[in-house]
Structure 1
Amino acid sequence: MDLTIELSLAELRQVAAYAVACALPALAVFERERPDDRRPRAAIDAAHAFADGAERTKALRDSAWAAHRAAQETRDAGQAAASDAARAAGHAVGAAFLHPLAKATQVKHILGSAAHAARALELDAGDDPAVGADHIARSTTLASPVVVDVLRHYPLAPGGGGRVGELVRELDASLR
């Protein structure tokens, strides 16, 4: 049986603001590859608006799905860095829908934007893990005490997930 976590709207807004700040540096990677595709930027803009007080609506979910479709399309086109950048944007807006269930899988709603952005930046730099590590270190400094407190209510990040999963676990460990 899963434990329920009490999450306030203010906490969700702080998590979303953190996710936006982590995803934003990778957006340029996507926009360089697909300058006419605004879906990831729209997702980040929607997440930012939520963090600033906008309502949680179906439009937020729709923008997350649209960013994830952009990620699939770029992945299928062989644009791996752009794909992870779009996925970071999708996770940023998805942070508004963090579930109050004490499941390890929910950690990606908090840290997924940072991990996918780190991977996008790594790939963009010729698959340089030092670039990803640098983004994870910056993402650690961006986390407010509220974000860290929310994260600590959840179990540790789950195993698996390839390089992005590794980055999630590195960030999780550094924040706890």
Structure 2
Amino acid sequence: MPTESDRIELSEDELREIAGYAADGARRALSIFERHLPADTRPRDAIDAADTFAGGGRRTVVLRQSAWAAYRAAQEAASPAAVDAARAASHAAAAAYLHPRARPHQVKHILGAAAHAARAEELASGEDRRVTAVGLAWARHHAPAAVIAVLCRLPAAPSGGGRVGEFIRDLDVTLRARGRSDTGDPPQGSLS
């Protein structure tokens, strides 16, 4: 059972910034999904719902349902790149439901959209690591202050998760280091 010490501060403004960042990241891979399944609007609907919340809308059942619908679209997609693109969209809509609990899996809710989008782009490019580098650089560069601040309140990203898990951990370490450098704290750990 979670204790009071497991709770973190999490404002609605931070949730909105995180959802907006997730939607922007997922949108980078949306065309990959739509090339494979042009009539399936579930991922686009999820990204639009996340954008609506980020822009001041309410967290509604429609937002939650759109996250699940995009998740189902991922389960039904035949192309691995389309699967990750739809998962990115699902994470975007689900980002609005981040819990104020200090749990490692919460990091996946913050960075999952960007990581799945980067994986979709990587797969669509035939595993071109230069494409991957561009996608992850975009995610690092565009992370708003709220993303970094909330990550710094959470435990480090969990192990596992395959290639997407690697991307999440890479982004987590890099963004936390940026947060420490912004506050003047010494960096801890490094990526090679």
Fold match (TM-score > 0.5): yes
| Stretches (4+) displaced over 2 A | none
- 2:54 — aligned with what? 51
2:99 is the alignment partner of 1:96: no
Shift of 1:33: 0.5
Aligned residues: 173
- 1:109 — aligned with what? 109
Q: Specify the SS of the correspondent of 2:35.
A: helix
- 2:26 — aligned with what? 23
Give the one of 41, 52, 58 matched to 1:38.
41
Matches within 5 A, 1:1-176: 1-2=2-3, 3-74=6-77, 77=78, 79-176=79-176
Instruction: Name the TM-score, length of structure 2 as normaliser.
Output: 0.88
Instruction: Name the TM-score, length of structure 1 as normaliser.
Output: 0.96
Q: Specify the SS of the correspondent of 2:10.
A: coil
1:65-113 Cα shifts (integer Å, max 9, x gaps): 0000000001xx2x00000000000000110000111000000110000
User: For the aligned residues, what is the CA RMSD?
Assistant: 0.9
Shift of 1:129: 2.6
Larger mean CA deviation between 155-164 and 144-153 belongs to 144-153
Highest RCO, 1 vs 2 (Cα 8 Å, sep ≥ 6): 1
Q: Unmatched 5+ residue regions in structure 2?
A: 177-192
Q: Unmatched 5+ residue regions in structure 1?
A: none
